[in-house]
A = this chain, B = another copy of it.
Amino acid sequence: MKKSIGAQTILYPHPVLIVATYKEDGTPNIAAVSWGGICCSRPPCVAISLRAATQSHGNILARQAFTVGIPSVDQWREADYSGIASGHDTDKFADTGLTAIASDLVDAPLVEEFPMSLECRVKEVHEIGLHTQFIGEILDLKADEEVLGKNGSPDLEKVRPFCYATGNRRYYAIGESLGAAFSNQRIADPRG
């Protein structure tokens, strides 16, 4: 018997995506977002949701661009801070000591210390409710050489990302590998 918990926004794992934008005066800003993820393969797109009250929301509407940085476990405190403080009140790059570098493709900054970032141009804006969902077309993925795997893509074990748990409001590292995806073609019960 399943227990009814109510209409909660819990699924596991939530990513910790650091959305980087420019303010009206050109100051770079970052904000942690867990309401988001890849939403289309062709064109390659990522979805992030933000409340209208946030600095990032206005920045994205004005510049029609943002980047999504994936912080490593070493940067969890900076990532957490970027989700607490408001860009309306403070310079979060100065506060955290992180470094903004200009994207050569979109009107938004990258965070130099993060191992990988997606550079996105706004494709669609959906007003869902409390949150606005921004669909960004991914124009490029920029990564540090050291986190690339043999196939040339960023490797999770080198990026060392982390996730957010809504239930107990804690961050968790990623653990051991369970096995290869797309490897269980023959699971079908022979009795079936």
Contact = CB atoms under 8 A, between A and B. Distances in A.
A162 B178 contact: yes
A41 B174 contact: no
A80 B184 contact: yes
B169 A165 contact: no
A2, A151, A168, A178 interface centre (most CB from chain B within 10 Å)? A2
B185 A174 contact: no
Interface residues of A, number: 109
A58 interface: no
Nearest to A114: B2
Contact of A182 (B83, B90, B130, B181): B83
A47 B101 CA distance: 31
Nearest to A76: B178
A46 B8 CA distance: 10
A35 B35 contact: no
Given A149-B168, A178-B172, A11 B15 contact: yes
B39 A2 contact: no
A38 to B, nearest CB: 5
A192 B167 CA distance: 34
A95 interface: yes
A73 to B, nearest CB: 6
Given A45-B128, A154-B5, A163-B163, A187 B95 contact: yes
A178 B174 CA distance: 10
